[in-house]
Structure 1
């Protein structure tokens, strides 16, 4: 007979399903579970008071949305019948089907779903934290800074505007250039574009990872006269002096530092899995939650699933991906609990509405391997071309679809594909 471990002795409570993370992925998964099994014992662990519709911050940075309209109280969004544990996770004990909270409590589970999002590492860029929100330095990746992006775009009359993108992976890989296109569109409409030198400094080597959408984007790069600087990684910011330092490889293949002046600097920070994930037995060698890309089940622990931005799947880290993943995880958790007979699989779907001007969007939709996967027929909405219909979708349809659809367990255009031969993790 196996001895009882100290962790098992200390358990303060347990749930059939524990969900770590109350963001888009966590709440959507809880709602999908409850919609299928209303009496299931589900709990969400998340310390935050406020939940944000992060895809809206691009439009906040362009003066289209108000920041406050992208925020709601966490309490108002927890699905009925789901327990909210307002705490943070300290560590995982998967061998004992338990986890430890930061207040020392130990919680047990039958099934665990892990979707904590990712960490925006502002401190990885020297001097950045001290100057964010002033000296012309901003980022649409933070709720409190997106309005400053719009303020800077409105006030800039002439000079140099820099837009940076760090190495992958990052959430919403198109967001760095969305901020740039919308700012340029404002400068064009206000007759100031010729007085502003815009540069896109991307640590990567391509404008966008799915080639089908690049031609349309390049038309806007030309229209706005944007200088593309690939292989440039932002490493330091001197806000008071308005100087940004990038590292790039020179002609000999050696790294060199390049310092550029700016009047406006839009920064996207490096991004990693959260520390409590990176230092846990759930992580792969790079620190991300180690899951099978199709079942989203953990590769070592069969009663653990992961989804959202914190996993090591190769899909785009977007809310659209989480919307497709949540029903898959809900289904597969219920299969594990013997409540459903057939597993579901995720095909890597992600979507990135690339806002190329106010009123037009290139709607990028794709699955694993960069395969284009449009939700609509081309005659209705051709995602490879900038269209007003895609803008209408982004501005008018997607926010209520998020708040009243995805987070409520309504799976419009997101029903999971059921399979009988899904590879085991």
Structure 2
């Protein structure tokens, strides 16, 4: 529906004051389900619900022209995949019957079941799904954006952003000798295994280029452990030791001096700072929910994450609002695999509510997966739940490095994402896990 407002403008520069009328179009939308965000969670949920509702009953608000398969960024950084394979036009993956509004939500008004976009449009909804993901805060590290702008010559790189990922491989290939530092920030991150994946790939690349003996490699993490799940952590500590990678814990990057190729790190325990020279510095930026969501304090917790019930991702205060993916305070690892597992649970609970029913059976157990590349041709496939207990799909010991898991990450997961998940058909490997374990899990 279109509402036209007329504003009066008085022209004071003419001898005779004239009055002119400017028409500004503001648009009011009404939908059954509003999805805020067109990432993996928003698109996959839009595809699921599009099968049940009429044209334009569902609206997705997403500003970007391009949709990225972000798990491929590590492979791009290691030269395994090319950047052009990582993204598609948003218009080509929007589910049929779903209306795409290419804009951003700037205000949430849950008491009125309405949002306002940056263009001033008002969207009223019966139900809303928040799928806004996380934003990358490179600017929280002094000197970081300046250094990244000069890559690969600066030696600073990052796989996390489509803006910078293509400079990672040239930066690693430029390395001749010195310190190669790989960081993990003092904040939640999406794909928390990625910072060490690129570290292991770089180490292998240095060996292939015959410069490994001239490299002092460090993985510097703000966490007190190398990985949150103890049994996988044991394996990864051995991998790092085998590759002679120095692991520093409870330490995060706070400043970069690009002109001197120096980085300042702070120890989170005693707050002391140290400065290190680098030839290569891979930066994992601090991350947070988008500022528009953080500002909606009636919807979020103190950290700015959408406040939901962890077993069905329904909002704790507003029953007609659900969340999915990285922007929620659900205490799971932030991965695409987690989104896939969440999607079917959220769909069942939200669809039941929309139909005037109650879903009692389906629960999200915190499942997440992280294919931890440990080199070219090897991978540890970590799968776990809220309790940080292993929840492995294959009837093999996935704590061990595997060529098969590497091929799964490299060859199988991208088409699974583009053709199944984004079309609403992939809900995680639960069915296959039961089948492969003969129903014994």
Task: Quote the RMSD (CA, aligned, Å).
Answer: 1.7
Does structure 2 conserve the Cα–Cα contact (< 8 Å) formed by 1:335 and 1:341? yes
Question: Is the alpha carbon distance of 1:316 and 1:169 closer, same or farther for their aligned partners in structure 2, counting shifts above 3 Å?
Answer: same
Partner of 1:54: 70
Q: CA deviation at 1:190?
A: 2.6
Find the counterpart in structure 2 of residue 329 from structure 1.
346
Residue equivalent to 1:373: 391
Report the CA distance between 1:390 and its aligned residue.
0.4
Instruction: Tell me if 1:356 matches 2:371.
Output: no
Per the alignment, residue 151 of structure 1 pairs with 170
Q: Deviations over 1:56-92 (max 9, x none)?
A: 0000000000011101000001001110011100110
Pick from 205, 220, 224 the counterpart of residue 186 of structure 1.
205
Shift of 1:415: 7.0
1:398 is matched with: 413
- State TM-score, norm by structure 2: 0.88
Alignment partners' CA distance in 1, 2:366 and 2:97:
30
How far apart are the structure 2 equivalents of 1:179 and 1:415?
28
Deviations 1:111-135 (A, max 9, x none): 0000100111111111111111420
1:170 pairs with 168, 171, 189, which one?
189
Q: Relative to structure 1, is the Cα distance of residues 11 and 300 closer, same or farther in structure 2, using a 3 angstrom cutoff? A: farther
Matched with 1:64 is 80
Which residue does the alignment assign to 1:196? Answer: 215
**1:407 maps to what in 2?**
422
Alpha-carbon distance in structure 1 between the residues aligned to 2:316 and 2:428: 28
| 1:96-175 to 2 correspondences below 5 Å | 96-133=112-149, 134=151, 135-175=154-194
CA 1:412–1:310 in 2, change beyond 3 Å: closer, same or farther?
Answer: closer
- Is residue 14 of structure 1 aligned with residue 30 of structure 2? yes
In 1: Cα distance, 2:177 partner to 2:27 partner? 62
Larger RCO (CA within 8 A; separation ≥ 6): 1
- Confirm or deny: 8 A CA contact 2:393 2:430 kept in the other structure: no
Residues in 2 aligned to 1:374 and 1:143: alpha-carbon distance in whole angstroms: 31
Structure 1 residue aligned with 2:103, among 87, 92, 106? 87
The 8 Å contact of residues 235 and 246 in structure 1, kept in 2 or not, is answered as yes
Match of 1:311 in 2: 328
Q: Matches of 1:150 and 1:190 in 2, distance apart?
A: 13
The yes-or-no answer on 1:264 pairing with 2:283 is no
Q: In 2, Cα distance between the equivalents of 1:120 and 1:146?
A: 13
Task: Confirm or deny: 8 A CA contact 1:164 1:266 kept in the other structure.
Answer: yes
Aligned twin of 2:19: none
**1:338 aligns with one of 342, 345, 355:** 355
1:287 corresponds in structure 2 to 304
Q: Deviations over 1:262-302 (max 9, x none)?
A: 00000011111110011102111111000000010000000
1:423 matched residue in structure 2: none
Distance 2:358 2:304 in 1: 33
SS in 2 for 1:269: coil
1: distance between equivalents of 2:222 and 2:424? 37
Rounded to whole Å, the distance in 1 between the matches of 2:100 and 2:387 is 37
Deviation at 1:96, TM superposition (A): 0.6
Q: Take 2:430 and 2:386, find their aligned partners in 1: how far apart are those partners?
A: 18
What CA distance in whole angstroms lies between the structure 1 residues aligned with 2:348 and 2:59? 17
Relative distance call for 1:70 and 1:137 in structure 2 (3 A) is: same
Q: How many correspondences in the alignment?
A: 401
**Equivalent residue for 2:434?**
none
Contact 1:327 1:415 (8 Å CA) reproduced: no
| Residue 260 of structure 2 is aligned to residue 241 of structure 1 | yes
What displacement does 1:215 show? 2.4
Structure 1 residues without counterparts, runs of 5 or longer: 1-9, 417-425
- Give the alignment's TM-score, normalised by structure 1: 0.91
